[in-house]
Amino acid sequence: MNAPSLVAECDVLIVGAGIIGLAHATEALRRGLTVMVIDRDSRAVGASVRNFGHCCVTAQSGDLLELAQTARERWLHFSGLAGFFSVESGGLAVARSTEELAVLEELSASRETGQVRLVTGAEVNDRLDRDGSLGSAGSAGSAGLIVGGAVLRDDIRVDPRQAVAALAAWLDDQPGARVWWRTSFLAAAEPTGIGAGLVRTSRGSIRAERTIVCVGHDLDYLYPEVADEYEVQRCSLQMARLELPGARRIAPAVLTGTSMLRYPAFAQTRAATQLRRVMDDRHPDLVDIDANVMFTQRPDGTIIAGDSHHYDQSVAPFLAEPTTDLLLRHVREVLGGPDARVIERWQGVYASSPLQSYVIADIEPGLTAVSITSGVGMTIGFGVAARTFQTLG
């Protein structure tokens, strides 16, 4: 076979047009570099369009909180430039037990005033635009009353289906940037010698000073040794979209007790230890599916609801109906009423490592792989992109 011909040149080649690849591309542009993004698909259909669109800033801690705050600014900035929906909605953590409330109280006390603001059951109902007949601490069904909640000030939301497509289109319009779809990364040539800096793609070779590979959970397809080092697996999640009767508006991203066992700022409280015991005892079914019962509302009024977590090297294509039933029962309880109708179901997949929330790995000179290895790519992606370029100098 002949060597593929040179089809393009740039300073930085990004592989993958999900949010992580696009965030890196915007960072390259900010630094005055020419950039190309290639993706094997004809549009983004990976994790970046299958999620809640929730930038879960407030419930991060330490390094992740810092990355999330950077990402928050960039989301709002690019939403203006590229013209996609974003809203400084905050998050709403709904407490349905005193143990959940204790987690929120402890977190609130540890943060600057107003960042985690405790609210009554009545205010939770208001923010959920729930039927007034459910009362200020309205019955939420078998899971008990809504006893209160907390507004998570710094959380923002985008519509994932719109945001990633709009950002890619905006990038492709910028001088010095190009996005090529249906173009697969095949291999990087040897780092030295005549082919140095050449990347083989399904459309020919691209010469780049630096290549950043952002292929999400497919990291192991290209670099199994890196995936093994960080014990990266695939996490698969069951999701659904619901249509609500009436014209209810629910601005915040809505989290529940299961979310309090997942996101670090909640999970690191002392009260979370007791909550974990209570969950094991009262909701072993939710614990079994590693649930994070939460939802967000799209601009068209429909609700993105989820999710369960299953970890494996490869993802089975089969969705378990009892898992979706269980998740939706809890989502409907918080929504208040049985009448939210399912209009779509899907499976999402992201990379997961028990060791790190994200991986920036030098593969060889000029070639770096970046993968977010926890369920927070929308929250920290732009922050990680800035970090990658700082690391590269």
Ligand X SMILES: Cc1cc2nc3c(=O)[nH]c(=O)nc-3n(C[C@H](O)[C@H](O)[C@H](O)COP(=O)(O)OP(=O)(O)OC[C@H]3O[C@@H](n4cnc5c(N)ncnc54)[C@H](O)[C@@H]3O)c2cc1C
Q: Which residues bind ligand X (CB under 6 A)?
A: 15-21, 38-41, 44, 46-48, 50-52, 54, 56, 184-185, 214-216, 218, 237, 239, 306-307, 348-350, 371-372, 375-379
Rounded to whole angstroms, the Cα distance separating 312 from 146 reads: 35
Describe the crossing of helices 271-282 and 98-110 by its angle, rounded to 10 degrees: 160
Q: Write out the two tokens for 229.
A: 């080092």
Rounded to whole angstroms, the Cα distance separating 20 from 39 reads: 12
Q: Between residues 46 and 257, which has the closer beta carbon with respect to ligand X? A: 46
Q: Between residues 13 and 150, which has the closer beta carbon with respect to ligand X? A: 13
Per-position DSSP letters for 99-111, written without gaps between them: HHHHHHHHHHHHS
Q: Phi and psi (nearest 5°) for 87?
A: -145, 135
Range 316-321 contact pairs with CB under 8 angstroms and sequence separation of 24 or more: 316/236, 317/347, 319/238, 319/345, 319/347, 320/238
Smallest distance from ligand X to CB 353, Å: 12
Q: Between residues 214 and 226, which has the closer beta carbon with respect to ligand X? A: 214
Smallest distance from ligand X to CB 250, Å: 15
Question: In whole angstroms, what separates CA 156 from the centre of its chain?
Answer: 12
Smallest distance from ligand X to CB 116, Å: 18
